[in-house]
A and B are shown apart, each in its own frame.
Chain A
Amino acid sequence: MTRLGFTVLAALALVGCNVDSAAFTGPVATRYDFGDLERYEELTLSAPNGDAIAAVFVNGDSDLSVLYFHGASENLTDIAPRLAYFQRRGFSVLAIDYRGFGKSEGSSSERNAYQDAEVALAALSERGTSPAQTVIMGRSFGGAIATHAAIREPPKSLVLESTIASAALAVSSTTYFDIPASFTTEGEWDNVARIRAMEAFPKALLHGDADETFPFWHAERLFEEAADPASLFRVEGAGHVGIFEDHEDVFRAALCHGLEDDERARCER
């Protein structure tokens, strides 16, 4: 992105762009490419307002599932390698594109994404998977959607990768002067409040210590608020992107850490 590009984007915002729709928006798609992924089916779920939510369900070899929430500016095609990875470790996987992302209809917003997460939870339940059999995982903004899902009923474990502590904290850390977060965004993305209110089930916070988008202190703050059992996985030298791709060992440890012994053995093999 060039200097000119940023200037144009800023100028657009100055003439009235909605900051929230700009901050959480994803690439649309007319079709998905899941590469070599096997034993999967594309689903169409229904949002409360009737909008279609595109989803993919991947069959695994165990009773455990991963409910995966991707980050902003991603869609299901982008996470195909992760879907295959979870499947290789025995998990079934359900992942969705939030409204406004991929093939899903409607417009993107924090509120809509939370509703979409509830729809995904219900879809997983209809397939016979209870929250107690589900690892809920979210990356970046998807971490806030994951905590929304996890607070409703305790999952097997919660894994948050490179996620935000809250919009308010992100704003205050970006500026030299403390302004109310609502001056720039209606979004709350308040993982701090939700993780503080969560029951005691395993939680893993996975974060690169060279993350320039959400610096490492976001994970530290969430770790401070999380009831035990909680683990902080610091990935040395990792930025906002690349933990899965370049630090698979740490990624795997976070994914598997909340499982029972036999489950963990399968996950870690």
Chain B
Amino acid sequence: MRLRSLVVFVLLAASVSGCARVRAVRTLRKGQLEVSWTDGGPIVTGVNGRTAVFPLNSPELAVRYGVNGDLDVHGAVHAVPFAFGTFWIDLGASYQFVSGKIGLLGTATLNIATNGRDIMIAPQVTFVASVEASRVFTPYVAWDSALSLTPSVQYLGIFSVGTQIAIGNVRIWPEVRWFAPWDDQEPTTFSYLSPGRGAIGVGLGIGGVIR
């Protein structure tokens, strides 16, 4: 098979749409500003029938601001689409419904992407349940619901398990994601790591509270 060039094409297509991790585990304190860099995506296990294990590359640069302790606003830029001349941002807000040792947080995000020719609009809602296990570790589970409205209506659900690691003002978020847990696998150029349905991915975020 000598379509390695096609592989690049679909690899990038998939990377463009790969979601790296949840935006917020706990809201920031009032006036805090956090900057983070995240990468990751579904894990590819084969390309055109050949073994090639690696996670898709879907880096995002995000900024989050604490409005009042229970409410954050955030914005993020997705880096891979720039390779195609596409500007992709997401903007949103997170609200801490339950705080304390057990936390429940909801995030509403609007993904907007355009290359000047086409536009994609995709609202996304995320719920994160977390446990403050220690001053350093806050493990969590999350459920993402994303809905692309253009070019066609398509729902993507993502189940995530991860932890927030806080060391001083530095934050690290390793995360495992299960994309579209109900989706049948069918032969495609890629095969993803999958328990039989959907695709398993990883994400790693690194950031810091800079104010």
Bound complex: CA of A15 vs CA of B117, how far in Å? Answer: 22
The answer to whether A177 touches B148, judged by C-beta atoms less than 8 angstroms apart, is yes
Residue from the list B12, B48, B81, B180 in contact with A240, Cβ < 8 A: B48
Residue from the list A13, A24, A183 in contact with B118, Cβ < 8 A: A183
The answer to whether B13 touches A213, judged by C-beta atoms less than 8 angstroms apart, is no
Given A3-B52, A22-B8, A73-B5, are A177 and B122 also a contact pair (CB < 8 Å)? yes
Q: Which residues of chain B from 35 to 87 have a CB within 8 Å of any chain A CB?
A: 42, 47-50, 52-54, 57, 79-81, 83-84, 86
Bound complex: CA of A6 vs CA of B83, how far in Å? Answer: 16
Given A1-B47, A183-B86, are A174 and B199 also a contact pair (CB < 8 Å)? no
Q: Which residues of A contact B84 (CB under 8 A)?
A: 19, 183-185
Most buried by A among B1, B50, B54, B83: B83
Bound complex: CA of A241 vs CA of B48, how far in Å? Answer: 11
* Contact bitstring B114-136, A, C-beta under 8 A = 1, else 0: 01011110100000000000000
* B145 adjacent to chain A (CB < 8 Å): no
Q: Which residues of chain A from 223 to 253 have a CB within 8 Å of any chain B CB?
A: 239-241
* B189 adjacent to chain A (CB < 8 Å): yes
* B95 adjacent to chain A (CB < 8 Å): no
Shortest C-beta distance, A219 to chain B (Å), equals 13
Residue from the list B10, B11, B17, B146 in contact with A170, Cβ < 8 A: B10
The answer to whether A177 touches B154, judged by C-beta atoms less than 8 angstroms apart, is yes
* B99 adjacent to chain A (CB < 8 Å): no
The answer to whether A179 touches B12, judged by C-beta atoms less than 8 angstroms apart, is no
Shortest C-beta distance, A177 to chain B (Å), equals 4
Shortest C-beta distance, B158 to chain A (Å), equals 9
The answer to whether B3 touches A72, judged by C-beta atoms less than 8 angstroms apart, is yes
The answer to whether A213 touches B1, judged by C-beta atoms less than 8 angstroms apart, is yes
Q: Which residues of A contact B191 (CB under 8 A)?
A: 212
* A210 adjacent to chain B (CB < 8 Å): yes
Q: Which residues of B contact A49 (CB under 8 A)?
A: none
* A10 adjacent to chain B (CB < 8 Å): yes
Q: Which residues of A contact B179 (CB under 8 A)?
A: 176
The answer to whether A1 touches B10, judged by C-beta atoms less than 8 angstroms apart, is no
Q: Which residues of B contact A30 (CB under 8 A)?
A: none
The chain B residue with its CB closest to the CB of A239 is: B49
* Contact bitstring B167-211, A, C-beta under 8 A = 1, else 0: 000000000000110010011111100000011000000000000
Q: Which residues of chain A from 16 to 55 have a CB within 8 Å of any chain B CB?
A: 16-17, 19, 22-25
Q: Which residues of chain A from 193 to 234 have a CB within 8 Å of any chain B CB?
A: 210-213, 215-216
Q: Which residues of B contact A107 (CB under 8 A)?
A: none
The answer to whether A210 touches B187, judged by C-beta atoms less than 8 angstroms apart, is yes
Shortest C-beta distance, A239 to chain B (Å), equals 7
* B14 adjacent to chain A (CB < 8 Å): yes
The answer to whether B9 touches A185, judged by C-beta atoms less than 8 angstroms apart, is yes
Q: Which residues of A contact B16 (CB under 8 A)?
A: 175, 179, 183-184
Bound complex: CA of A14 vs CA of B39, how far in Å? Answer: 14
Shortest C-beta distance, A107 to chain B (Å), equals 14
Q: Which residues of A contact B42 (CB under 8 A)?
A: 176
The answer to whether A172 touches B188, judged by C-beta atoms less than 8 angstroms apart, is no
Residue from the list A3, A13, A170, A176 in contact with B83, Cβ < 8 A: A13
Bound complex: CA of A120 vs CA of B205, how far in Å? Answer: 54
Q: Which residues of B contact A213 (CB under 8 A)?
A: 1, 3, 6, 48, 189
The answer to whether A176 touches B199, judged by C-beta atoms less than 8 angstroms apart, is yes
* B15 adjacent to chain A (CB < 8 Å): yes
The answer to whether B52 touches A19, judged by C-beta atoms less than 8 angstroms apart, is no
* B151 adjacent to chain A (CB < 8 Å): yes
Q: Which residues of A contact B117 (CB under 8 A)?
A: 180, 182
Bound complex: CA of A23 vs CA of B113, how far in Å? Answer: 23
Given A1-B47, A174-B10, A215-B187, are A22 and B80 also a contact pair (CB < 8 Å)? no
What are 9 A-B pairs with beta-carbon distances under 8 A? A3-B53, A10-B8, A19-B9, A174-B10, A176-B156, A176-B180, A180-B115, A184-B16, A213-B189
- By Cβ-Cβ distance, the 8 closest A-B pairs, closest first, are A180-B118, A23-B9, A177-B17, A175-B17, A178-B154, A73-B2, A184-B13, A183-B86
